Amino acid sequence: MTHLRVTPVVALAAIAALGLAVLAGPAQAQNASRTRIDASGSFVVTSLCPFPVGVDAHVVGYQVTTWLPTGGSLIRTHLNETDVYSANGVGLVGSYTFNIQVTTDADGNNIQGSQTGTLVRVPLPDGTTFMVAGRVNVLSAQTDYISHPDSGTTRNLDGLCAALAG
């Protein structure tokens, strides 16, 4: 349903969250639900390094949906993700924890959405770390992989690409 990294796995989690909110409807206005999320998927990122990077992502977490008195919903999702980044015969493993929050209106339209936390953390062979931490507006993401948050920090992207270059 990240990041934010908008990965297919993060997108699946967000879509599942929104689907539950829309199905619940206004009748559930005062109730909340908690759902476990287990998702995985593989995809190729073309906006991270000068070459394609394969990502094999695994997400585990929980989502709490609260239905608002106005008929919309507030969906909070806490995720733990482990990814394997690969290119040119090199594989690197990253693990991180982050949150996604989406607010919908009474018709199920997304009106606010953000991802916060350690969006990416990948230890590199030279002892340094590639890391993205902060906050991203998930509704305005324009790339297949967000490596620069709206607020926060990106550290050592060049190191990640150098390590994956082989």
* pLDDT winner (highest mean) among 26-30, 108-112, 130-134: 130-134
pTM: 0.77
- Distance between CA atoms of residues 121 and 130, nearest Å: 6
How many percent of the chain have pLDDT more than 70? 79
| Model pLDDT for residues 129-152, shown as the tens digit of each residue | 999 999 999 888 766 676 788 899
The structure tokens 């090199």 sit at 90
121, two tokens:
């953390």
Give the whole-angstrom CA distance, residue 73 versus residue 102.
Answer: 8
- HSE-CB for 155 with a 13 A CA cutoff: 15
pLDDT, tens only, 48-69? 999 999 999 999 999 999 988 8
CA–CA separation, 142 vs 131, rounded Å?
Answer: 20
